[in-house]
Amino acid sequence: MKKESLGKILLGLGTGTLFGFFLHKGSASEHHAISGQLRLRDSSVLKIMGTATAVGAMGTQILMRLGLTQAKVKPLNTGGIVLGGTLFGTGMAILGYCPGTNMAAMGKGHKDAVAGMLGMFVGALAFVRLYPSLKPLIEKGSMGKRTLPEVTRTSPWLWAAAISAAMVLLPKQLEGGKVGR
């Protein structure tokens, strides 16, 4: 292993540790976090994600304007997004954790999350093996790295503001429909 990458690994380890700590503190390391969200019984996961997105969208725009960061926009590969998203959603429902919360659940001691992690590794191996033949399917309908403001020709600030507004207003609506576990 090269020396320069050790610093990066440690930086990642530190960031991951904070992320894992907060996932556990927010009870996202529990099976009912994802399974409850998918059964529309508990909207904690959407609230955590929405809050992070709202704060992060403003932060990203400010940092980008100041030249302190660059966006790493993911490519809009229609085939990969639609097929991958469908497989992902189905797998997540069966597993009951998403990739991040599965790792947090492992840390807490959930044994089914260890099985989930082994399955994830097998899934990754299968992907590596099949990638060359899957590539055309994934890149079908590719539109490159596009952002919502680019597609709609609107200001990114408008989007950041709208997401923040939605996150202030929406939780009350979600709360109204909450049935409990």
Burial letters 131-150, b for 16+ CB under 10 A, else e: eeeeeeebeeeeeeeeeeee
CB 60 within 8 A of CB 162: no
Provide, rounded to whole angstroms, the least separation between the CB of residue 165 and other proteins: 15
Query: Which of 65, 140, 141, 148: binder of other proteins (CB under 8 A)?
Result: 148
Which parts of 157-176 interact with other proteins (CB under 8 A)? 159-160, 163
Nearest one of 124, 114, 119, 110 to 28, comparing CA atoms:
110
Closest CB to other proteins among 66 and 169? 66
Counting contacts by CB under 8 A, is residue 35 touching other proteins?
Answer: yes
Q: What part of residues 2-21 is at the interface with other proteins (CB under 8 A)?
A: 5, 8-21
- Give least dist CB 128 to other proteins, A: 5
Asked if residue 47 binds other proteins (CB under 8 A), the reply is: no
Please state, in angstroms and rounded to a whole number, the distance separating the CA atoms of residues 81 and 138: 8
* 3-class secondary structure, 41: coil
Mask of contacts with other proteins, 117-146, x by CB under 8 A?
A: xxxxxxxxxxxxx-xx-xx--x----x-xx
Q: How far is CA 43 from each of CA 17, 28, 85, 92, 177, rounded to the nearest angstrom?
A: 24, 11, 20, 16, 9
Cβ at position 172, least distance to other proteins in Å: 20
The reply on whether position 39 binds other proteins by CB under 8 A is: yes
